[in-house]
Amino acid sequence: MPSVAVKLYSVFFKFLLKHRLQNRIQTPLDQSSNPYGVTTRPEESVSASNPSFTDGVATKDIHIDPFTSLSIRIFLPESSLSPPEQPEPKSKPKLSQQDDPNYLIHRRNSYGPPNIGAPKNDPRRSSFEVLNLRSENNAYRGYSPFPQNCRKLPIVLQFHGGGWVSGSNDSVANDFFCRRIAKLCDVIVVAVGYRLAPENKYPAAFEDGLKVLNWLGKQANLAECSKSMGSGARGVGAEFTKAEVQRHIVDAFGASMVEPWLAAHGDPSRCVLLGVSCGANIADYVARKAVEAGRLLDPVKVVAQVLMYPFFIGNVPTQSEIKLANSYFYDKAMCLLAWKLFLPEEEFSLDHPAANPLIPNRSPPLKLMPPTLTVVAEHDWMRDRAIAYSEALRKVNVDAPVLEYKDAVHEFATLDMLLKTPQAEACAEDIAIWVKKYISLRGHEFSY
């Protein structure tokens, strides 16, 4: 059973959540409707972005849609600044960071201050010099959109939880969780700040998720275009200034600009979707749309998805929905309130495509879905339907294991007070082991 502290916190949590949900339901739609939308609530604590590799991860926020509040937070692990792994000479003793005056240069020999002392014909030089790798406060300021010999990392597109009506990609808890995933999986995490209900009902959050996936593809194409301009437009060895590159990109693509962190370090051909609670519903929707789009999404390729205690429901109750209806933190009554706030009144149904992943004739066929890891908790009333979805995927030969955690509650690995528990740490490590099977360039020998 969960600890006494968890039980007490659950009572307090449900009291506040019920009060907030009821207040939002009582708000007239004409007052709450807002096409621009909101992505966070004033009562929630948020963590400011920090480009200084605090705890080994740098972050930045980007507003990617001028017509809505859709935004993202990028989590870049410090390991991305290392050059491709190369064996070190055995005869040369390894110096500590404090003793090695050229530590930054050795660590990032394809960046700046790039190759100080290297001859002009040194192949390590890029046609674009790095723009002050770090400032005095250790912030990662930026660099060329396409430095040579940089390390490319997979991209994890993450969707936070919160029952459609709360939570944010920059909350303290989500920031902590995404940092953990970025370091354990050695990936760039892109946390999506989708629009919340009731200001924006279905399908706003789902459309935002798909919009970010398409934005990743656009960024990859912009970066490749920039690279072509730099390497071929003036001939081999010619150099553009930073201003010239930006002018060329703006002339060709309007206001579109290359996002330098993703251009230098992101590998969209190894993209993983990770959804938490209701975010898992969004991840599954985005995965389906990615399957339908096929090569139209190139160079983005969704290679796997992780569904953490998904927010699935249906008209015909499962055994866990009956037995655990009054479970911890998110019980069935409050989740129904959240669904009423999210789904338009004329479309409300527990068998809505956004709610039930196993309704008949849902496209595309399950056999085309990407490998799917499902995480469930013993004391979560939604667990059985998530397990049923995983079983349906396995029946059509999709790699779809289930990780069930004993004595765990809904959001046990992502809720603020539970983030540092052994279960939360073990869950993140288990996710990393599985994900590495599909993002490793060399493959991974461990399999569930």
Question: Quick one: how far is CA 107 from the chain centroid?
Answer: 27
Residue that has been written with the tokens 């907030």 in this structure: 20
Spatial contact of 427 and 412, defined as CB atoms under 8 Å apart? yes
The secondary structure of residue 430, as a DSSP letter, is H
Q: Evaluate whether 282 touches 194 at the Cβ level (below 8 Å).
A: yes
Q: How confident is the model at residue 119 (pLDDT cuts 50, 70, 90)?
A: very low
Reported as a pLDDT band with limits 50, 70 and 90, residue 105 is very low
State yes or no: is 277 an active-site residue: yes
Structural domain tally of the chain? 1
Over the stretch 351-374, which tens digit does the pLDDT of each residue have? Answer: 999 999 999 888 899 999 999 999
**318 to each of 177, 332, 381, how far by Cα in Å?**
30, 12, 9
Residue 69 has pLDDT above 50, yes or no: yes
Mean pLDDT, to the nearest integer, of 35-39?
A: 87
Conformational region of residue 25, where left means phi above 0, alpha means psi within -120 to 50, and beta covers everything else: alpha
266 belongs to a structural domain: yes
Selection from 198, 335, 363 nearest residue 277 by Cα: 335
How confident is the model at residue 7, as a pLDDT? 85
How far apart CA 41 and CA 21 sit, in angstroms, is 12
Q: In this structure, are residues 157 and 212 in contact, taking their beta carbons and an 8 Å threshold?
A: yes
**pLDDT for the residue numbered 147:** 52
Q: Is residue 207 part of a domain?
A: yes
The answer to whether residue 445 sits within a structural domain is no
Is residue 372 within 8 A of residue 338, CB to CB? The reply is: no
Distance from C-alpha of 428 to C-alpha of 413, rounded to nearest angstrom: 8
Element (H, E) at 404: strand 402-405
E strands in 204-308: 266-276, 302-308
CA distance 39 to 199: 10
107 is a domain residue: no
Task: Specify the pLDDT at position 5.
Answer: 86
What is the pLDDT confidence band of residue 338, given thresholds at 50, 70 and 90? Answer: very high
Give the long-range contacts of residues 221-224, CB within 8 A, separation 24 or more.
Answer: 221/299, 222/249, 222/253, 222/256, 222/257, 222/258, 222/263, 223/145, 223/146, 223/258, 223/262, 223/263, 224/299
Task: Work out the pLDDT band at 8, boundaries 50, 70, 90.
Answer: confident
Q: Which domain holds residue 46?
A: 4-27+36-81+145-439
Q: What is the mean pLDDT of residues 85-95?
A: 49
Q: In sequence order, what E strands does 168-292 have?
A: 188-193, 266-276
Catalytic residue among 80, 144, 410, 430: 410
Q: Is the pLDDT of residue 291 over 90?
A: yes
Comparing 132 with 13, the larger pLDDT belongs to 13
Amino acid 310 reads P
**What are the tens digits of pLDDT across the range 51-60?**
988 889 999 9
Asked if residue 203 has a cis previous peptide bond (ω within 30° of 0), the answer is yes
What 3-state DSSP class applies to 316? Answer: coil
| Contact indicator for 210, 289 with CB cutoff of 8 Å | yes
Least reliable range by pLDDT among 82-86, 234-238, 373-377, 389-393: 234-238
**Encoded tokens for 325:** 């209806």
For the chain, the average pLDDT equals 81
Which band of pLDDT confidence, cut at 50, 70 and 90, is reported for residue 241?
low
Q: Is residue 158 assigned to a domain?
A: yes
Q: Does the pLDDT value for residue 127 go beyond 50?
A: no
Catalytic residue of the set 380, 384, 390, 430: 380
Residue 17 lies in a domain: yes
Q: Which segments within 64-175 are labelled E, that is strand?
A: 71-77, 153-159
Overall average pLDDT of the 282-305 stretch: 95
In angstroms, the CA 10 to CA 325 distance is: 14
Is the pLDDT score of 444 beyond 60? no
Question: Residue 420 carries which side chain, given as an amino acid letter?
Answer: K
pLDDT at 272 over 60: yes
Q: Is the pLDDT of residue 290 over 70?
A: yes
What CATH number does residue 63 fall under? 3.40.50.1820
Q: Please compute the mean of the pLDDT values over residues 178-201 and round it to a whole number.
A: 96
The Cβ of residue 36 has, within 10 Å, a number of other Cβ atoms equal to 13
From the candidates 277, 320, 327, 390, which is the catalytic residue?
Answer: 277
pLDDT of residue 47: 94
Question: Does residue 73 have a pLDDT over 60?
Answer: yes
> Hey, which bits of 83-218 come out as E strands?
153-159, 188-193
Whether 306 maps to a domain, the answer reads yes
- Flag whether 86 is in a domain: no
**For a pLDDT cut of 90, what percent of the chain falls above it?**
57
**Look-up: residue for tokens 């490590």?**
429
Residue 248 pLDDT exceeds 50: no
At a CB cut-off of 8 Å and minimum separation 6, what does 68 contact? 35, 36, 37, 195, 200, 204, 208
- Residue 114 pLDDT more than 70? no
Taking residues 396-410, report their average pLDDT.
96
User: Is residue 192 pLDDT above 60, yes or no?
Assistant: yes
